[in-house]
Chain A
């Protein structure tokens, strides 16, 4: 038990009257909590609790006179606890609280879960695009989710079949090129036939086609040109670099016979044969896949008559040749069987007129038939 006496309130007075208690027996008080108001001749003074503890006795009630230095209030606790404030400045808060460290872990709580790994910028983008990172697969270092991963998660439609695979190489290039062409080119396709019944047997049709195209280009140079859509510039080319569409298991290749107009029929055949080999072997150098000024697509080797072949910019024309066939035609009022080569010419109407295209085609047919 520790008894606290009425302190000298500095009024020079020997006693004070208890005005009002703010605590009662049994209360637990904190240091400096107002305990009691006492009235002196001059004023009503608050007396704060000198210690924390449980009140066990009040030495008087309201109205009683207490002498200075006489007992005022008694606290539960060790004797002498009041006397020793245990400090030299200030006042230390005391409480009866008991700290429970029972669950204290030395070091880490060894968590078994970790958050998704993504840089703050990625998280921000995901939030903006409404992507739940929990469902995004991370392709970055250490499995972290990247910006691209988040973007893919927004654009990729639900997979319809698990066998989808991303395109690579030649097929990927073709997809890209065709998409690009479709976005830019304004194609018109003109269809016609060439009657090659009177050609000598064993004629090299492919070489004759190439030669016909060269003649056509001479007659109508605007089909052997490059067109730049953005700047609306056109370049009529003196040389005919003939692109030859070649089909392979990997996809479409278009090797280019440079300066075809200068080559003899045998040289053209050799070039065609060489390309067939090098494309198949995948030894054709990239330089020979570039720079075509006009393209020939001999799709008819397999099947099909007429088509709407696609122009790959900056070219402005492509000639498609369908399957050679014997068919009944009307000639001089009679039905006769003739050898017919179907031709489909696509031209880019941004750079080529209908007149130019038809004249080109007429020249090709004339060259083929003679």
Chain B
């Protein structure tokens, strides 16, 4: 008997939860300005997130999925992508989208129930959200195929939640990416929960990263609360995809510091105190500690940042609230390039009734 295959899954962390460096920092992390940029982005995202929840509670937007505690994941991934790379999101990756040209007010439009929030016309290198879980990795593989055929030196990155890794489409996407050698990076944002189903009940696999092994390429785990590690490993993986047409799976581990959405109630299934325990690892505090240790951050700077970010978010909320409603005929105007004749009558009927909704 001989062993014909073995696999390894490495784990990456540069900054531990106390804000201490535990491995050789990548080049960008030695530049404090870069770190402060990342820090600012995370703070901005958290303030936006809190505001979005409040907007939902006051009936200004609909159901909204929070990113609280996961700022390191999305800010880091977004920062690790190049402008000309293509991004295929799931639905929680606000922090990536806003680094790639999507406005916070667009995010509010979408969750506010307006199709224009999905439009991303001015941020063309992004796919719209994907609500059917696990369906988008296949689209990412498709984009990567097109890039490869056209010999363009860009890569695709797609994000799936830990729940999404159980979907058949997820494996099919990885499988074809492996065998066709596609320039795509699969990010699994493992926040430990798929609504009420904990990570341990999603799969028997020890790591989610190792699912890549079955598809024939490398998978690694990254500490999602360490924004430096997230950005670094994303950059490395994207470079590998661009230059070698080699896919990677990045399992980025964080903790969901919120309900699944504003309509969910995690107290029904989440043991008391779990969130608090994990809060000790949260990403913003960690980087703050490090920056303070470096002497480049203090309370005064913090206060100033908070005020500045709050103002920026206020403006975006105002933009959202002042958006004119879409026209009713827009229900019909984007079904086909040209609306088939048989549906014109319905469109006319809707326009006639359009002013009068009966709620």
Contact = CB atoms under 8 A, between A and B. Distances in A.
A–B: direct contact at CB < 8 Å: yes
Contact of A88 (B57, B62, B264, B314): B264
Interface in A39-61: 42, 45-48, 50
B59 A46 contact: yes
A32 interface: yes
A88 B58 contact: no
Contact of A10 (B55, B264, B268): B55
Nearest to A33: B59
Interface string A45-88: 11110100000000000000000000000000000000111011
A10 B53 CA distance: 8
Give the most central of B195, B263, B267: most A CB within 10 Å.
B263
Contacts of A132: none
A8 B58 CA distance: 10
A202 interface: no
Interface in B5-31: none
Contacts of A89: 62-63, 261, 263
B33 to A, nearest CB: 27
B236 interface: no
Contacts of B264: 88
A8 B62 contact: no
Contact of A84 (B51, B53, B195, B268): B268
B349 interface: no
Nearest to A6: B57
A191 interface: no
B263 A8 contact: no
Nearest to B64: A89
A91 interface: yes
B59 A12 contact: no
Interface residues of B, number: 20
A91 B64 CA distance: 12
Which 6 residue pairs of A and B lie closest in terms of their CB atoms, listed nearest first? A10-B54, A48-B59, A7-B57, A10-B51, A89-B63, A87-B263
Contacts of B267: 83
B347 interface: no
Given A88-B260, A89-B63, A9 B58 contact: yes
A90 interface: yes
Contacts of A88: 63, 195, 260-261, 263-264
A4 B64 CA distance: 20
Contacts of B63: 88-90
B50 interface: yes
Give the most central of B59, B62, B195, B265: most A CB within 10 Å.
B59
Contacts, number: 48
A84 to B, nearest CB: 6
A83 B50 contact: no
A86 to B, nearest CB: 9
B310 interface: yes
A177 B260 CA distance: 93
Contacts of A50: 57
Contacts of A42: 314
A50 B57 CA distance: 8
Contact of A83 (B263, B265, B310): B265
A50 to B, nearest CB: 8
Interface in A80-131: 83-85, 87-91
20 contacts: A8-B53, A8-B54, A8-B57, A9-B54, A9-B58, A10-B50, A10-B53, A11-B54, A46-B59, A48-B59, A50-B57, A83-B265, A83-B267, A85-B263, A85-B265, A88-B195, A88-B264, A89-B62, A89-B63, A89-B263
Contacts of B314: 42
Contacts of B310: 12
A302 to B, nearest CB: 75
Interface string B310-333: 100010000000000000000000
A370 B263 CA distance: 125
A83 B265 CA distance: 8
Interface in A328-362: none
A32 to B, nearest CB: 5
Interface in A153-206: none
A94 to B, nearest CB: 14
Contacts of B268: 84
Contacts of B260: 88
Given A8-B53, A9-B58, A10-B50, 17 more contacts: A7-B57, A7-B58, A8-B50, A9-B54, A10-B55, A42-B314, A45-B58, A46-B59, A48-B58, A83-B265, A84-B268, A85-B265, A87-B263, A88-B63, A88-B264, A89-B63, A90-B263
Interface in B263-280: 263-265, 267-268
Interface in A1-37: 7-12, 32
A139 to B, nearest CB: 40
A87 B195 CA distance: 11
